[in-house]
Amino acid sequence: MSDITAIVPGTFDPITNGHLDIIKRAKKLFDRVIVAVAVNAGKTPLFTFDERVELTKRVIEDDEELRGVVVEGVKGLLVDFAKKENAKVIVRGLRAVSDFEYELQMAFMNRRLNENVEMIYLMPYIKYSFLSSSIIKDVFINGGDISKFVPRQVVEAMNKKIGRGEV
């Protein structure tokens, strides 16, 4: 699969080790990988759009294994961004069967919007299969240790954003 640009999109509110696992897998398969910090209209994120872009950039830039991966903030349709970047592939993670229906719905809609982009699904390590951004926020807000599940920059950003134990 040479000369193929792949996009790994998400809300990344915040980015977790599970997301990083998927991005690393994508990097092994494709020449160019763009992490797209996008807007899910159904979500009210904790971090603003600009904060999510900046935090995701910092995390990716500090990770040796992700050298060359680019982070972009995307407002508007993902498939339009894919067209602009000449990307043929959108990569998503599938953690469990419960992800499947939502992903299938997005895949069909993306295909209706742009026939030229393929969705590809990668499975994370099983140790990340229970992770989600919401569960990270919940554990943190309730005083739990999230340092095993997210990069150090995310722990710092969470501390700055909401501080400890502010339920």
User: Does the protein bind ligand COA through residue 11 (CB under 6 A)?
Assistant: yes
- Applying CB under 6 A, the span of 37-45, 46-54, 62-70, 154-162 interacting with ligand COA comes to 37-45
Q: Cβ distance 90 to 110 under 8 Å?
A: yes
Rounded to a whole number of angstroms, the minimum distance from the CB of residue 2 to ligand COA is 25
Quote the CA–CA distance of 8 and 10 in Å, as a whole number.
Answer: 7
Binding residues for ligand COA, total number by CB under 6 A: 26
41, burial (CB in 10 Å: exposed 0-12, middle 13-18, buried 19+)? exposed
Q: Cβ distance 37 to 71 under 8 Å?
A: yes
Question: Of these residues, 52, 92, 133, 137, which one is catalytic?
Answer: 133
Of the residues 7, 124, 150, 157, which one makes contact with ligand COA according to CB under 6 A: 124
Q: Cβ distance 63 to 19 under 8 Å?
A: no
Quote the CA–CA distance of 11 and 52 in Å, as a whole number.
Answer: 8
Quote the CA–CA distance of 104 and 164 in Å, as a whole number.
Answer: 37
Of the residues 48, 86, 116, 134, which one makes contact with ligand COA according to CB under 6 A: 134
Rounded to a whole number of angstroms, the minimum distance from the CB of residue 100 to ligand COA is 12
Neighbours of 94 (CB within 10 A): 15
Q: Looking at beta carbons only, is 93 or 151 nearer to ligand COA?
A: 93
User: Does the protein bind ligand COA through residue 19 (CB under 6 A)?
Assistant: yes
Rounded to a whole number of angstroms, the minimum distance from the CB of residue 165 to ligand COA is 21
Site residues, ligand COA (CB under 6 A): 9-13, 16, 18-19, 22, 38-40, 43, 77-78, 93, 95, 106, 109-110, 124, 128, 131-134
